[in-house]
Amino acid sequence: MFARREKPGVLRRLWHFLFPPGGLRRAWMYIWCRTKRLSDSPHAIAVGFAAGAFVSFTPFIGFHFILAGLLAWFLRGSILASALGTGVGNPLTFPFMWWATYNLGGLMLGYDLKSDITIHLPEGFWMLLFTHPGAFVHHFWEAMGPIIVPMMVGAVPIGGVVALGIYFLVLKAVRSYQCRRRERLQARRQQLQRQAAE
C-alpha cells in the first residue's frame, strides 16, 4: 500500500546507501537510538558495537558485517549491535581511516610509503577471474598487497583504541537508557496498581 510506484534503480539505491536522503547525521542518530534500545545487557551491546567499530578500520570493504558479527560472537557481544557499529565507517570517515591505517601500518612495518599510490594491473586482468583464477589472485595481491598489508597492521592499534573508547561510551549510554526505562515502567505499574485499587 505504501510501496513506491516506481522502484529506484541499483545506482540510485547505492547512492542512497552511501548518502542517505536525510543526511549522514540523521542516519547516525538512528543507529545510535537503535543501539540504546536493544534488549541485550549493556555490556553485550557495548562489546558488539565496539566490535563493529573496530572492524570498520580494516580494509575489507564488503565483509565488515560478517567480520563484525563473527568478532562479536567470539567476544560474546551482541551481533545486531556489531552490525550497527560498522556505521562508524561511512563515506565521511573512510578516507581518514584509510589514510591513518595505511600510514601508521607502513610506519610500523618500516615501509617506504609513497605519497601517491598507483595500482598497476595487467591488461585483461578482470577476464583472468574467469579464465585463470589463480593468476587473478596472484596479480591482485601483487598490486594491492603493498596497500592492504599496512592498512591491516595499522587498523589494529587505531581500531583498538577507538573501539575501547566507544565501548565505554556505549556502555554508559545503554545503562542510563535502560535504567530510565525501568524507572518509567515501574512508575507506570504503580500508577496502574493505584488506579486498580481505587
Among 17-21, 102-106, 156-160, 181-185, the range with the most confident prediction by mean pLDDT is 156-160
Half-sphere exposure of 170 (CA within 13 A, CB side): 35
Cα–chain-centroid distance for residue 7? Answer: 27
Q: How confident is the model at residue 29 (pLDDT cuts 50, 70, 90)?
A: low
- Report which of residues 190 and 13 the model is more confident about: 190
- Report which of residues 94 and 139 the model is more confident about: 94
| Alpha-carbon gap, residue 150 to 59, rounded angstroms | 10
Q: Which helix (H) or strand (E) covers residue 131, if one does?
A: helix 128-131
| H helices present in 75-132, as ranges | 79-85, 94-109, 128-131
Which tens digits make up the pLDDT trace of 47-98?
Answer: 999 999 999 999 998 899 999 999 999 999 988 889 889 988 888 889 999 9
Q: How many helices (H) and strands (E) does the chain have?
A: 8, 0
| Alpha-carbon gap, residue 44 to 95, rounded angstroms | 29
Residues 90-110 have a mean pLDDT of: 90
DSSP state, residue 86: G
Q: pTM (2 decimals)?
A: 0.74
Q: How open is the CA angle 9-26-99, to the nearest 5 degrees? A: 80
In Å, how far are 60, 98, 131, 152 from 155, measured between CA atoms?
Answer: 11, 9, 34, 5
Q: How confident is the model at residue 1 (pLDDT cuts 50, 70, 90)?
A: very low
